[in-house]
Chains A and B, each alone.
Chain A
Amino acid sequence: MANVTTNTHRVGRKRRSEWMQPLGLIGATILIAFALIAIVAPLVAPYDPLAQEARRLMPPSADHWFGTDQLGRDVFSRVIHGARLSLPYALQLVVMAGILGTVLGAIAGFFGGWVDGVIMRAADLVLAFPDIILAMAVVAALGPGLFNAVLAVVIVSWPIYARVARSMILTLRQEPFVLSRRLLGASSIRTLWSEIRPNITGPLVVLVALEYGHAVLILSGLSFLGLGAQPPAAEWGAMVSEGAKYFDKWWMSVFPGLAILMVVMAANFLGDTLRDVIDPRSKRHLS
């Protein structure tokens, strides 16, 4: 991993042109649009997402833009309301995993010794599993449900943040301004909070942005498998899964899937751009 670095100084040109700023802007716009849609969903959705009022399994029409599903619910309204689940839950997930991972990584890096050993070996263990497999096992243990799915993915995704936080702290704790603070008698926690935290926030925010898209994907994936959101919830992954049972009624799964694709792509566009704008040097950790 550490061997994959870009020697941009050698290939010349400014980085700004390299990473296509417009993509970041497009990503941000799409994400903000989806966030707004999520907030005003009840106002803009033409129908109640749970109301079984229309004729069943109707293809897209002027009345029902995305058609209707097997219970006569309006797919367009359900996709709009889906933003109220996928977006905030994925945010909750990356924030929780980010905080847990950063705290553990910071403790490991700052104190070293056996504490470091225990935490980082635990991280290695978790990373020895492909994420969704371990998440599935955890959800199976906790019981299906969207919040349990979030918890499960927090448990499988904290090591990324821990590794990044630890590697930054290992360098930072040797810096003169940190050492002098300690010599002046500041406690460990105080040093970590007031000297180290401000220096690692930027890269970690970028990492959270980069992981956001993945969070949306894995949560909807778990819902698709029936381990996350449960029917009749208008969750995109669960909707795709319901649509799969009515295979020839393509509109039932195509539109919610497109919503996932757009959000994840937007997040990745934004994350990519942020990575270079905020913190060009940390590419190594983050890629």
Chain B
Amino acid sequence: MMQMIRSGWYRLPGLLRFTLGRLVVGALLCVGVTFISFTLTQVVPGDPVMANLGERAASDPEIVALYRERYGLDQSLPEQYARYLGRLLQGDLGESQQTHRPVATDLATYMSATIELAIVAMILAMAAGVALGITAAVWRNRWPDQAIRVISLAGVSVPTFWLALVCLYVFFFKLNLSPGVGRLGPGTPAPPTLTGLYTFDALLSGQWGLFREALSYIALPALVLATYTTGIVTRFTRVAMLDSLGNDYVRAARAKGLPARTVILRHALRPALAAIVTVSGMAFGRMLAGAVLVESVYSWPGLGLYAYRSALTLDLQAIMGVSLIIAVIYILVNLGVDILYAVIDPRIRY
């Protein structure tokens, strides 16, 4: 039996085998993640009963007992964990003590906002970072390169929460270019939910005005969130481009008299792309981390804001759910990046 599985396994196409292998590793990681977040919530010295019931209700033993029973706090730890895993398999992440709704429902509502923010920020960061990186590599060691180095270092050094505030002050309060915080203006109904991404949904339902409004709201937080990633992408693009600009075939293309544009964008950029894609996967994790800070400043109703609120109120189920979902997203993105890497660079075989 094992023999059959093994020989069958090796007969699978390389990329499929690689993908399946990574999926298994990813699934194991996810189980580990539930274990970590569960363990963490058990060392809480702060009593969730006190944090959520308030002093008066917490002094009544009957209410406390009911509360403990309702959230399963009266059982032993392995029992609680086993129960949690069992329910997890049914897609049940428990109930948030803060919102009194199922955590899974909460996450579904909050997740799309973060995904939309991350996608827009990633597009901005990739576009700016690759452009800056190419420029720096082409003008190596001359002033544009030096200037770009300082810019990219500043990008990875600036405190995200502070930049978010400063931008809000300048663009909203002073210049009135930004409409302010949130996803849409107060009173504006959200577009019909198809993907949960407001800009995209507005486009799909053909509401141009709504699309522009959603875009004007997302622009500032996305820009702030993109800053750090832009710095990273710039630096890696520069290094990767320097590497590929030194290749003989690039020199040959130049010698043939091809225009500089073609040489740089066609011949040199392609092999550099693989490295850039890998970095973007890693940078995505940082982006999810930055989202916590950006979302808390811009009242952006995403996972970051949810994580922050549940951390402050010691909302166990919610913390477990949100860290699980964020780790899963991160693991999946990196899996996707690895596969994309193989597709972009035909030299890589698994």
- Chain A residues near B (Cβ < 8 Å): 1, 3-7, 10-11, 13, 17-18, 20, 23, 121, 124-126, 128-134, 136-143, 213, 217, 220-221, 224-227, 237, 240-241, 243-244, 247-248, 250, 253-254, 256-257, 260-261, 264-265, 267-269, 272, 287
Q: Contact at A1–B169, with CB atoms within 8 Å?
A: no
Interface status of B246 (Cβ within 8 A of chain A): yes
Q: Contact at B323–A253, with CB atoms within 8 Å?
A: no
Alpha-carbon gap, A138 to B40, bound state (A):
6
Q: Contact at A269–B33, with CB atoms within 8 Å?
A: no
Q: Contact at B330–A129, with CB atoms within 8 Å?
A: yes
Alpha-carbon gap, A17 to B289, bound state (A):
35
Q: Contact at A129–B44, with CB atoms within 8 Å?
A: no
Q: Contact at B297–A244, with CB atoms within 8 Å?
A: yes
Q: Contact at B326–A129, with CB atoms within 8 Å?
A: yes
**Which residues on the A side are within 8 Å of B150 (C-beta)?**
23
Q: Contact at A133–B323, with CB atoms within 8 Å?
A: yes
Q: Which residues of B (280-310) have their CB < 8 Å from a CB of A?
A: 282, 285-286, 288-290, 292-293, 296-297, 307-308, 310
Alpha-carbon gap, A247 to B236, bound state (A):
36
**Which residues on the A side are within 8 Å of B274 (C-beta)?**
3
Q: Contact at A1–B282, with CB atoms within 8 Å?
A: yes
Q: Contact at A129–B173, with CB atoms within 8 Å?
A: no
**Which residues on the A side are within 8 Å of B322 (C-beta)?**
133
**Which residues on the B side are within 8 Å of A253 (C-beta)?**
162, 165-166
Nearest chain A CB to B127 CB, angstrom units: 20
Identity of the chain B residue whose Cβ is nearest the Cβ of A227 in the assembled complex: B311
Point out the residue from B161, B173, B246 that lies within 8 Å of A7, measured CB to CB: B246
Identity of the chain B residue whose Cβ is nearest the Cβ of A5 in the assembled complex: B243
Sampled A-B contacts (9; CB under 8 Å): A3-B275, A6-B242, A18-B141, A23-B149, A125-B29, A129-B330, A243-B165, A264-B157, A269-B153
Q: Which of B41, B46, B159, B275 lies at the interface centre, i.e. has the most chain A CB atoms within 10 A of its CB?
A: B159
Nearest chain B CB to A145 CB, angstrom units: 11
Alpha-carbon gap, A248 to B172, bound state (A):
11
Q: Contact at A261–B282, with CB atoms within 8 Å?
A: no
Alpha-carbon gap, A140 to B158, bound state (A):
25
Nearest chain A CB to B183 CB, angstrom units: 20
**Which residues on the A side are within 8 Å of B29 (C-beta)?**
124-125, 128
Identity of the chain A residue whose Cβ is nearest the Cβ of B31 in the assembled complex: A125
Q: Contact at B159–A137, with CB atoms within 8 Å?
A: no
**Which residues on the A side are within 8 Å of B307 (C-beta)?**
133, 136
**Which residues on the B side are within 8 Å of A131 (C-beta)?**
285-286, 289
Q: Mark B313-326, 1 if CB is under 8 A from A, else 0.
A: 01000010011001
Knowing A141-B43, A261-B159, say if A20 contacts B149 (CB, 8 Å).
Answer: yes
Q: Which of A5, A126, A224 lies at the interface centre, i.e. has the most chain B CB atoms within 10 A of its CB?
A: A224
Identity of the chain A residue whose Cβ is nearest the Cβ of B282 in the assembled complex: A1
Alpha-carbon gap, A257 to B274, bound state (A):
36
Q: Contact at B311–A136, with CB atoms within 8 Å?
A: yes
Given contacts A4-B239, A130-B330, A237-B159, 13 further A-B contacts (CB under 8 A): A1-B282, A23-B153, A132-B290, A133-B292, A134-B36, A213-B156, A217-B157, A225-B161, A244-B165, A247-B173, A256-B162, A257-B165, A272-B153
Q: Which residues of B (240-294) have their CB < 8 Å from a CB of A?
A: 240, 242-243, 245-246, 274-275, 278-279, 282, 285-286, 288-290, 292-293
Alpha-carbon gap, A13 to B157, bound state (A):
28
Alpha-carbon gap, A3 to B40, bound state (A):
35
Nearest chain A CB to B44 CB, angstrom units: 5
Point out the residue from A134, A248, A261, A267 that lies within 8 Å of B162, measured CB to CB: A261
**Which residues on the B side are within 8 Å of A256 (C-beta)?**
162
Alpha-carbon gap, A9 to B331, bound state (A):
36
Nearest chain A CB to B215 CB, angstrom units: 24
**Which residues on the A side are within 8 Å of B292 (C-beta)?**
132-133, 136, 225
Q: Contact at A268–B245, with CB atoms within 8 Å?
A: no
Point out the residue from A141, A221, A287 that lies within 8 Å of B44, measured CB to CB: A141
Q: Contact at B239–A6, with CB atoms within 8 Å?
A: yes
Q: Contact at B308–A225, with CB atoms within 8 Å?
A: yes
Q: Contact at B286–A128, with CB atoms within 8 Å?
A: no
**Which residues on the A side are within 8 Å of B296 (C-beta)?**
225
Point out the residue from B158, B279, B289, B330 that lies within 8 Å of A128, measured CB to CB: B330
Interface status of B124 (Cβ within 8 A of chain A): no
Q: Contact at B246–A143, with CB atoms within 8 Å?
A: no
Nearest chain A CB to B64 CB, angstrom units: 21
Point out the residue from B240, B297, B326 that lies within 8 Å of A133, measured CB to CB: B326
Alpha-carbon gap, A4 to B275, bound state (A):
6
**Which residues on the A side are within 8 Å of B43 (C-beta)?**
141-142
Q: Contact at A225–B162, with CB atoms within 8 Å?
A: no
Q: Contact at A237–B327, with CB atoms within 8 Å?
A: no
**Which residues on the A side are within 8 Å of B54 (C-beta)?**
none
Q: Contact at A130–B153, with CB atoms within 8 Å?
A: no
Knowing A11-B245, A224-B293, A272-B153, say if A139 contacts B311 (CB, 8 Å).
Answer: yes
Nearest chain A CB to B23 CB, angstrom units: 14
Alpha-carbon gap, A128 to B37, bound state (A):
12
Interface status of B207 (Cβ within 8 A of chain A): no
Interface status of B32 (Cβ within 8 A of chain A): yes
Interface status of B312 (Cβ within 8 A of chain A): yes
Alpha-carbon gap, A244 to B32, bound state (A):
37
Report, nearest first, the 8 A-B pairs whose CB atoms are least far apart: A257-B162, A130-B289, A140-B311, A265-B157, A264-B157, A132-B289, A130-B288, A125-B32
Nearest chain B CB to A45 CB, angstrom units: 22
Q: Contact at B157–A261, with CB atoms within 8 Å?
A: yes
